[in-house]
């Protein structure tokens, strides 16, 4: 009988030791790993935020790619527009073009003056008022005005005045042209 009672005691002791070890393991898990387990929810939130950030980034990249594609499709139009209305004031370029047109039309350029103005602050361009004084014949004046109209640079002629000089008895005219050129601010 003794043997059976000690055998029953060993089983109970084994069960008790097993239960204590299991409880100790759960307590150690609770103390040591529970904080790490709680961090998983924080990591899940961070992953969700990163996913939304990546989606926004992909949306922005697709928009940029779409704009780049549209820009490349309209590149020739943009270049034409830049030639008509340049980005910079470039008075020297305008004087060079006027001298070239005057030489082709047979008139002699005199004084060229510029005045920059902005008609409205909300407009994306500025106006460069140009006053051209020249001397030449009527045919040269009409050729000059036609060449200004066909020039790649946009010029709006406001007034064109022609008069005979008082001191000289010839068919040359004193010419005064006031025009507006445009450039982007």
Which range among 28-37, 71-80, 139-148, 156-165 shows the weakest confidence by mean pLDDT? 28-37
Are residues 64 and 103 part of one domain? no
CATH number at residue 159: 3.30.70.60
Are residues 141 and 78 part of one domain? no
What pLDDT, in 10s, does the model give residues 48-97? Answer: 999 999 999 999 999 999 999 998 888 887 777 666 666 667 788 888 88
pTM higher than the cut 0.75: no
Are residues 80 and 98 part of one domain? no
Which range among 8-17, 41-50, 133-142 shows the weakest confidence by mean pLDDT? 8-17
Are residues 132 and 69 part of one domain? no
Provide the domain limits for residue 125.
88-184
User: Does pLDDT of 107 surpass 70?
Assistant: yes
Are residues 173 and 93 part of one domain? yes
Q: Which of 112, 78, 89, 99 is nearest to 181 (CA)?
A: 89
Residue 8: band (very low, low, confident or very high) from pLDDT cuts 50, 70, 90: low
Are residues 96 and 80 part of one domain? no
* Spatial distance between the Cα atoms of 83 and 178, rounded to a whole number of angstroms: 21
User: Has residue 96 been placed in a domain?
Assistant: yes
* Spatial distance between the Cα atoms of 159 and 42, rounded to a whole number of angstroms: 74
Calculate mean pLDDT across residues 166-171: 71
In whole angstroms, how far apart are CA 98 and each of 65, 110, 114, 150? 41, 11, 13, 12
Percent pLDDT > 70 in the chain is 85
Q: At which of 84, 104, 135 does a domain end?
A: 84
Q: At which of 61, 84, 107 does a domain end?
A: 84
pLDDT of residue 117: 72
pLDDT of residue 24: 86
Are residues 95 and 77 part of one domain? no
Residue 185: band (very low, low, confident or very high) from pLDDT cuts 50, 70, 90: low
């Amino acid at each position: 009988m003794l043997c059976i009672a000690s055998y029953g005691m060993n089983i109970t002791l084994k069960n008790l030791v097993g239960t204590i070890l299991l409880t100790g393991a759960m307590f150690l898990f609770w103390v040591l790993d529970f904080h790490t387990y709680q961090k998983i929810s924080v990591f899940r939130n961070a992953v969700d935020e990163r996913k939304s950030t990546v989606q926004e980034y992909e949306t922005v990249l697709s928009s940029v790619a779409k704009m780049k594609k549209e820009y490349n499709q309209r590149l020739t139009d943009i270049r034409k527009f830049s030639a008509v209305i340049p980005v910079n004031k470039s008075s020297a370029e305008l004087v060079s073009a006027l001298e070239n047109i005057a030489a082709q039309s047979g008139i002699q350029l005199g004084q060229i003056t510029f005045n920059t103005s902005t008609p409205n602050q909300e407009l994306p361009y500025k106006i460069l008022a140009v006053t051209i004084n020249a001397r030449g014949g009527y045919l040269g004046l009409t050729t000059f005005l036609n060449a200004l109209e066909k020039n790649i640079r946009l010029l709006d002629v406001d007034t064109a005045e022609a008069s005979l000089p008082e001191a000289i008895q010839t068919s040359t005219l004193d010419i005064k042209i006031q025009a507006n050129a445009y450039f982007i601010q």
